[in-house]
Amino acid sequence: MFKRLVGFLVYDGLHLAPGTRLAEALNFFIYDTVKILFMLAVIIFLVSLLRSFFPPEKTRAILNRKHKFWGNILAALLGIVTPFCSCSAVPVFIGFVESGVPLGVTFSFLISSPMVNEVALVMLWGMFGWRIAALYIGSGLLVAIAGGIVIGKLHLENEVESYVYQIKFGGLVATREKELTWVDRYQYALNYMKDILRRVWLYVVIGIAIGGFIHGYAPEDLLVRYAGPSNLLAVPIAVAIGVPLYANAAGTIPIVQALMEKGMAMGTVLAFMMSVTALSLPEMIILRKVLKPKLIAIFTGIVAVAIMMVGYLFNAII
């Protein structure tokens, strides 16, 4: 319904011809800006409301396991069942950091949540069979777990912006004498949502504007032209092209199908898909409000290298 309304505004209201670069870029920008800001508001509110039932100590106890790597595995698995895009996963990431969850564990979630999507899994299964779908989910989990472990080993907590650690639970810690009322929980969730949106909304708009420009003006055959099956550097080129783009995992499936039909190797296509969903430029812009540039660069580098390794591995075995 809303998509049709945006289309009417762009094509009929502004008299722009469908299919033109300006029209497609503007349509993408308006639709995704409203959609992402709305999703952010809803997700932040719901996550905050849920967190009122799980004090920081309980969250920390679940993910901060003494068993080696167990927290990273749990966080990566949690990412699969949370249908967030890379941008909307950031508020959950902030909540984990605030609750004292180890930084490496939070990054396992941040990588897994946008990269491994249950809708994309079903679509891949239907289009390409269960083997490709299994490879997709297995490689996504592997990248998320390994990336989180490496970042955790580097001890980069001082590269998180200080305000993230200073956000408090608003004093809403239930005591034995008095449990929180629903009014308390709603008020906390509303205030938390407003605070986070106030900090990140401009970065969301800037990021989507960049994505809209690329969506409308980048040539359709750009990836095939420079990352074809005969190029040994096809995987890193696909990753480099995919990072500036913005889409969720399900949204990349039609692109994946088109690229495979044009003869692109499965590993290269998978690397492109993962880079688009896990390392989008809008996500990096939003993360800048949470993380310092050094940590963003390390996060991007580790995940990009892991994705390229997966791409080359799949090209070798498929």
Q: 306 with 146: CB under 8 angstroms?
A: yes
Reply yes or no on whether the pLDDT at 175 is more than 60. Answer: no
Q: Which tops the pLDDT comparison, 237 or 57? A: 237
Task: Give the pLDDT mean for 15-32.
Answer: 79
Reduce the secondary structure of 110-163 to three states and give it as a string.
Answer: HHHHHHCCHHHHHHHHHHHCHHHHHHHHHHHHHHHHHHHHHHHHCCCHHHECHH
- What per-residue confidence (pLDDT) applies to 87? 58
Q: pLDDT tens for residues 160-172?
A: 887 776 655 444 4
Q: Which tops the pLDDT comparison, 259 or 120? A: 259
Q: pLDDT tens for residues 287-308?
A: 787 788 999 899 888 888 888 9
- What per-residue confidence (pLDDT) applies to 76? 86
Closest CA to 144 of 94, 119, 101, 109: 109
For 78, the token pair is 């949690």
- List all residues 6 or more positions away from 183 whose beta carbon is below 8 Å from its beta carbon: none
Task: Give the pLDDT mean for 263-282.
Answer: 79
Q: How confident is the model at residue 135 (pLDDT cuts 50, 70, 90)?
A: confident
Single-letter code of the amino acid located at 284: M
Task: Give the pLDDT mean for 265-289.
Answer: 78
Burial of 245 (0-12, 13-18, 19+ CB in 10 A): buried
Q: pLDDT tens for residues 211-260?
A: 677 667 766 566 566 666 667 888 888 888 787 776 655 556 666 766 77
Rounded Cα gap, residues 116 and 237, in angstroms? 22
Task: Give the pLDDT mean for 73-89.
Answer: 70
Task: Give the pLDDT mean for 28-56.
Answer: 75
Q: How confident is the model at residue 6 (pLDDT cuts 50, 70, 90)?
A: confident
Task: Give the pLDDT mean for 278-295.
Answer: 79
